[in-house]
Amino acid sequence: MIEDNVMLAFDIYARLAASGQVRKAEISAYWENEEVRHFVERFVGQVQCVLISDADYLYLLPASLESPFHISNEAFKKRYMTSKAVNMDIYLLYLSIIVLFGCFYDSYQTQEPADFVSMSTWLEAMNGRIESLHRHDEETLKAAEGAMNFNWLTLMRKWDDLDSIKETARKQDARTNSRLSFLNMARSFLLQQHLVREIGNDELVLTEKARAIFANYFMEASYNNGILDFMYELDHKDVQDGEKGADDHAIHQ
């Protein structure tokens, strides 16, 4: 009996390993047999991955850089970005995705996302994030870099260097050196990963897969290195400084 359950579990794991997802309706043993589920989770843990599910699918996601399912920077650039992309483009892409989901989830304080987010809203939010970072001294940003492995100063310069003058061009794609075209490249990646859907008028909605991943995995500080907390702590500091400045102004009236 145990051997049968091990083989059932390995079959489920093999299907997850092959495509990264499997329909829940096709793996009833995983849901109905606790021992099968236990073995699947052990197999997944051995390759440093986690399991996430939505209404229809079970997904396999790498949880560590050491996982054999983790894609290298070089492979990622070749598959999803331009030939001229560098590692910092990947990190900026990651930051832009964080900001997009912040638009959906109201700074990560709500359980239900907004109905949709437009490309213009995403661009405005991304500009606002970078402007917020600029308002803080380099020492604060450098101190945060070590703990997060996230080079805030270089990311800020990378975004600043994108040519926003070209954002009004009729055709925006990855070949155009602009902020909006960079977000278009990020959108293309999210569409390929089935994390967003387009609904017209340059508007995006989250898929069930995205909701599951970001609610149960991505927003956990242990996985995002505290990047979200840091970004919104800066926002809170901006508000406090603004209130203090207003109080000081009132005192001197």
DSSP for 3-64?
Answer: HHHHHHHHHHHHHHHHHSEEEGGG-HHHHH-HHHHHHHHHHHHHTTEEEEE-SSEEEEEE-S
Both 35 and 120 in a single domain?
no
Range scoring the smallest mean pLDDT among 45-49, 161-165, 183-187:
161-165
Q: What total number of domains does the chain contain? A: 2
Q: Which domain holds residue 15?
A: 2-62
Both 20 and 132 in a single domain?
no
What is the percent of the chain where pLDDT is above 90? 38
Both 131 and 6 in a single domain?
no
Among candidate residues 8, 161, 24, the one with its CA nearest the CA of residue 86: 161
For residue 246, being part of any structural domain is answered with no
Task: Characterize the bridge pairing of strands 203-206 and 117-118.
Answer: antiparallel
Give per-residue pLDDT as tens, 211-247.
Answer: 887 776 665 555 554 555 555 565 555 545 544 454 5
Alpha-carbon span 203 to 12, nearest angstrom: 36
Both 230 and 108 in a single domain?
yes
Query: pLDDT band for position 11 (50/70/90)?
Result: very high
Give per-residue pLDDT as tens, 121-172.
Answer: 999 999 998 988 888 777 777 766 665 566 888 888 999 988 765 555 555 5
Both 49 and 94 in a single domain?
no
For residue 205, being part of any structural domain is answered with yes
Q: Are 180 and 119 in contact (CB under 8 A)?
A: yes
Tokens 């907390």, residue located? 229
Both 47 and 90 in a single domain?
no
Asked which of 10, 41, 62 is the last residue of a domain, the reply is: 62
For residue 47, being part of any structural domain is answered with yes
- Give the list of residues 6+ apart from residue 214 with CB closer than 8 angstroms, or none: 101, 105, 206
DSSP single-letter state for residue 109:
T
Residue 2 in this model has a pLDDT that exceeds 90:
no
Both 50 and 162 in a single domain?
no
| H/E element, 196 | strand 196-198
Distances (CA, A) of 52 to 16, 22, 63, 157, 235: 11, 11, 11, 35, 30
For residue 188, being part of any structural domain is answered with yes
For residue 88, being part of any structural domain is answered with yes
Both 6 and 77 in a single domain?
no
Asked which of 41, 62, 83 is the last residue of a domain, the reply is: 62
Both 85 and 161 in a single domain?
yes
For residue 249, being part of any structural domain is answered with no
> Region 51-79: what's the mean pLDDT?
87
Q: Which residue has the higher pLDDT, 21 or 133?
A: 21
Both 54 and 101 in a single domain?
no
